[in-house]
Amino acid sequence: MKRKLNIQMSGIAILGILATLIMSIAVFYGKFQQQEMEEMKNYASLLVNMKGEQSDYFWEKYSFDMDSLRITVVDKNGNVQYDNNADVTALENHLKRKEVVEAFERGEGKTVRKSSTLKRVTFYYAKRLDENYVVRVGKASESVWSIFFAMLPPLMFFTWLLVLMCIILSHVLSNKLLEPIAQMAADMNHTDKINVYKELVPFMDKISRQHEDIIKSSKMRQEFTANVTHELKTPLTAISGYSELIENGMADREDTLHFAGEIRRNSDRLLNLINDIIRLSELDTEKELGECEEFDLYVAAQNCVDMLQVSAAKHDVSLEMEGASTYIWANPYMIDEVLFNLCDNAIRYNNPGGKVWLRVWQDKKKCCILEVEDTGIGISRKHQQRIFERFYRVDKSRSKKTGGTGLGLAIVKHIAAKHSAHIDLDSEEGRGTRIRVTFVPKQL
């Protein structure tokens, strides 16, 4: 990148130098032509003034011996009457010469003619003496290419000098520009100590945030891997231990029934854990919501309540439904998962004789509200910030006893984020928990 940047900056500088050089020569030559024409105009005006009251053939009285100027007098028929540098009898008719035609028509005319070799050019300026004659002044000069080639050695010297300076400066500037990026690549943990251009600050900040996110994600993956290993190992160890006792005949009939029950319970826990892990993995990789449709959230919540009544009765918890018909645009299967996980947690982490309320309604802003409230064990403030993390449990011993996987609320958080829904948690230890999910209206 550094080499490419140097080449590009040097190339731009060289093109700028060459363009400036060409434009300077063009401007210089244009000014030179203008000055030459102005000088010949003055000579022609002087010759016209010399005529005065003299005869029409005043040029016969004067001799114009000028090496740099050519003075020619042409009559209205195009015949050359006088030329100070040539034999008039050998000259061709000048009636079609541009400067002569313009002088007879408008009083004055001018032109520049190049030689066939492009080595020299001649500037002509003609002025009308009267209705019969035109005086023309001509001056030969170097062409623009002759001037350019004459100036080429010093121009090349200064051009190469400027190019060398541009290469050095581009190298210095590219180093200064890329040095902060190199420092950041070498040490991403101390980017605040790197001096950069103010234009690079947003870029540096974004890179720093991305680096922090990568580190955080890496730590989360490591923690997740460790948690998965631990969570899978616990029921598998129990299943293996109980199976080994039965296999070796170390359990009587009563113990065998107990061990079989423990094997089944741990197998169910293992199966639920695997299913939740797979579901979380799917939610992480899925970019789209899938098949969404408009449906009644109240009806979906009522179905969830009916399905979990047996589980609620088993835990000596009453489950009630409140609210009214409310339609939302969402993936119905994902919303069923949200309802099940919230209600299942409210039942599992409740007290005997406790209550769970599932409410659905629409607020003044047309937002659909799903709320689950319980009279359970509650969550202390120090745990509330982490309750939606994977495998995070407030009461680990109770989670194992109730068969919770620690992934239910993580699934709820993922699904809510995919639906642009907002989750609010209000809980007090020993008094219960209320979780509210707000679905904003679909923008049509």
Q: Helix count (H) and strand count (E) of the chain?
A: 10, 12
State yes or no: pLDDT of 406 exceeds 90: no
**Residues ≥6 apart with Cβ < 8 Å to 173:** 9
Per-residue model confidence (pLDDT) at position 347: 92
Task: Give me the amino acid identity at 25.
Answer: I
State yes or no: pLDDT of 414 exceeds 80: yes
Give the residue from 283, 416, 435, 260 showing the smallest Cα distance to 358.
Answer: 435
d(CA 40, CA 75): 20
Question: Can you tell me the mean pLDDT for 71-86?
Answer: 85
pLDDT tens digits along 149-184: 666 677 677 777 777 777 777 777 777 777 766 666
pLDDT tens digits along 221-279: 777 777 677 667 777 888 888 888 888 877 777 878 888 888 887 887 778 777 777 77
In angstroms, how far is CA 225 from the centroid of its own chain? 35
d(CA 419, CA 286): 13
* Tokens at 194, concatenated: 């790197």
pLDDT tens digits along 92-146: 888 888 888 888 888 889 888 875 434 577 888 898 888 888 888 888 776 555 5
The side-by-side arrangement of strands in the sheet containing 317-323 is 317-323, 354-362, 368-374, 432-439, 422-428
pLDDT tens digits along 380-396: 888 787 888 777 666 55
d(CA 180, CA 169): 18
Torsion, Cα of 407, 410, 416, 419 (10° steps): -80
Question: Can you tell me the mean pLDDT for 57-85?
Answer: 73
How many residues can be counted in the chain? 444
Q: Where are the beta strands (DSSP E) in 96-249?
A: 108-114, 120-128, 133-142
d(CA 334, CA 280): 12
> What secondary structure does DSSP assign to 79-128, as a single string?
-EEEETTS-GGGSPP-TT-HHHHHHHHHSEEEEEEE-TTSSEEEEEEEEE
d(CA 103, CA 72): 13
- Which of 39-43, 305-309, 354-358, 403-407 has the weakest average pLDDT? 403-407
Per-residue model confidence (pLDDT) at position 203: 72
Per-residue model confidence (pLDDT) at position 131: 82
Torsion, Cα of 395, 379, 385, 322 (10° steps): 120
C-alpha angle 293-295-297 in degrees, rounded to nearest 5: 130
d(CA 43, CA 58): 16
DSSP bridge partners of 124:
111, 138
DSSP bridge partners of 355:
318
d(CA 326, CA 323): 9
